[in-house]
Amino acid sequence: MSQCLNPNCNYQNPERSLKFCQQCGSILKIGDRYRAIKILGQGGFGRTFIGIDEALPSCPACVIKQFFPADLGSAAKAAELFQQEAIRLDDLGKYPQIPTLFAHLEQDGRQYLIQEFIDGQDLLKELQEQGAFSEAKIRMLLADLLPILQFIHDRNVIHRDIKPENIIRRRLPSTSGAVAAGSHVLVDFGAAKYVSTSALMQTGTSIGSAVYIAPEQVRGKAIFASDLYSLGVTCIHLLTNVSPFELMDMDGMWVWRNFLGNNSVSSTLSQILDRLIIAAPSQRYQTAQAVLNDLKNLSSSSHQAYVPRFARPRNQKAIAKTNITPISNKTPSPSIPAIAPSLSQFSFEMATVAVNRIGIGKFAKFQLQVNTKQRIGHFYIETLGNFQGKPISLEMVHIPAGKFYIGSPTNEMEHSDEETPRHAIDIPPFFISRFPITQRQWKVLMDNNPAIFIGNGDRPVESVSWEDVQSFCQKLIERSGKPYRLPSESEWEYACRAGTLTAFSFGETIAANLATYNASEPYKYAPKGIASASTTEVGSYPSNAFGLHDMHGNVWEWCEDNWHDDYDLLPKDGSAWTKGGDRSCRIVRGGSWRDPAHYCRSAKRSKNPANQGDRCTGFRIAVTLAMP
């Protein structure tokens, strides 16, 4: 297909190889390079097409913006402004989360901008398909968008049309790898939005989408804080799934909290959003950086969740990303039977890495050899419910009792003091899930899917906070009668090592065919590979000696423990260290898809705020049961 560029024709030519329109004879390629395929949109100042760049072998997609003003009386001034816009976009497009400007051309008396095509979904469509955003998703949105706004404002540019449709979540990483899949991109810096400022001097005219624009912008006096207002209104729309027109009462007061329904928002984020959407510009945030500074306070444990009026009781429906009261520190009720069901055998393929040295001295090279073998483990199956008529279950693997040394030796590459002092830990027998909890498993129990990397229900669920996981465990306790919980940090490392003493359960190093991580930053002896762009389906790679998959990479995994800076007073019985330390932050282990290899070591430990989730963090669950 080849779309005619003549506004008076608009014929859709059936063949892509044509040079001229079969209907009107107009040239079909711009600059003998860019071909329009179909119209994406049309406004008073021009049209937007999806196109391809035929000068490159792969014919990559691009966006073509054609300029022709409907008001011919202002065409000369509008054309001048269009050229100024091209210069601005050339500068702004250097920011990785703004589409790159490829070309500014003129053909047949019409001007064109050729921009990068962003493969993804805009947030309005995501809202329509998935429902209201959780607080964690809003925090991620703000963390992505605010630096973009600070960047453009520093260059004296006001976007003027921030709204869900103009924010795209990438399906794939950028070609440079600088922007990960799932990141937000701000689009539509097109000529129409900039050129129409020529009409702002007229009473009653405005720029942007009326439902999102700031009061001063309606009067034709947009300022930098106007973009922040629009971003705030975008956030409350996404949180409530209600049109912003409905979120304001007859007196012009925002009442968005009344429409949160089952959602829950922390008091800190609520205050930030309230300040973003204040009508008076002088009382609003003045810079994007100021908002970012306040967002840092969300990690403080002193901020309690805001529970909206009219919200249903939490036991009616599980909600991801809510700041709930932790329940896992409570001793399981004696009425809960803690007896293991009958165990079944399962066979699994475990892998080890051998490092073969070739040559000597400085000419030595290292070659990795991955060896696999079959082993037998024991597990039971916990049924979580039914999805689309099919049972969804959880495989709980028996981990035998044992003793191990937690932490890493000082001579281990990338060793840190947080992994010391090493001492022996006695681990009683317990069960742990064979894989990280998947999106399918989360959804069947919690009735939502907070994950960023959707499209495959067997990918790990991510973007869940430690507090969200407590809700998941409580639901599972109520359903199964078994005291499910997060593993302690000691249990997690014991299960990960599976009897090994090396940096990884596979051996001295790790390879890209054994885990999902950023292989462009390899570890000891391993060759440099390609950075991962997202999570992968659980169980895609061989397991460790206990039959557990994805202990290295894919997603960081929550543990029960409070954060402590070292192991000095860590309990020696394998239990979670929940006394002292920083209760606002909890342990995460294992590394993730976007981390360098050394972050995926068995001993590597990190921390996340307990009330925050992100696209790199998931979990697996554990339980202690008496054997029958």
CA quadruple 197, 203, 209, 215: dihedral sign:
positive
Q: Which residue has the tokens 């069960």?
A: 431
495: phi then psi, degrees, rounded to nearest 5: -65, -35
Q: How far apart are CA 92 and CA 294, in angstroms?
A: 26
Q: What is the CA radius of gyration of the chain?
A: 28
Task: Specify whether the CB–CB gap between 98 and 154 falls below 8 A.
Answer: no
Task: For Cα atoms 281, 199, 204, give the angle at the middle one, nearest 5 degrees.
Answer: 60
Helix (H) or strand (E) holding 101: strand 101-107
Classified as helix, coil or strand, 156 is coil
479: phi then psi, degrees, rounded to nearest 5: -80, -40
Q: How far apart are CA 69 and CA 52, in angstroms?
A: 24
Q: Is 65 among the annotated ligand-binding positions?
A: yes
91 is catalytic: no
DSSP letter for each residue of 9-66: T--EES-TT-SB-TTT--B-EETTTEEEEEEEEEETTEEEEEEEETTSTT--EEEEEE
Task: Specify whether the CB–CB gap between 403 and 425 falls below 8 A.
Answer: yes
CA neighbor of 622 nearest in space, from 585, 580, 589, 599: 589
Classified as helix, coil or strand, 167 is strand
Strands 617-618 and 556-563: parallel
Task: For Cα atoms 104, 109, 113, give the angle at the middle one, nearest 5 degrees.
Answer: 20
Q: How far apart are CA 301 and CA 323, in angstroms?
A: 11
Of the residues 53, 161, 227, 595, only one is catalytic, namely: 161
Amino acid at 510: I
3-state helix, strand, coil in the chain (%, to 5): 25, 25, 50
Token pair for residue 277?
A: 């959407």
Token pair for residue 354?
A: 């051998």
**Residue 309 CB: number of other CB atoms within 10 A?**
9
**Residue 77 CB: number of other CB atoms within 10 A?**
12
- What Å distances lie between residue 320 and 97, 183, 229, 438, 607, CA to CA? 27, 20, 27, 14, 20
Helix (H) or strand (E) holding 354: strand 344-358
Q: How far apart are CA 73 and CA 38, in angstroms?
A: 29
Strands 101-107 and 110-116: antiparallel
Token pair for residue 582?
A: 């920083």
Q: How far apart are CA 457 and CA 435, in angstroms?
A: 13
What are the E-state strand segments in 117-207? 120-122, 167-170, 184-186
Q: How far apart are CA 247 and CA 233, in angstroms?
A: 9
Write out the catalytic residue numbers.
Answer: 161
Binding residues for ATP: 65
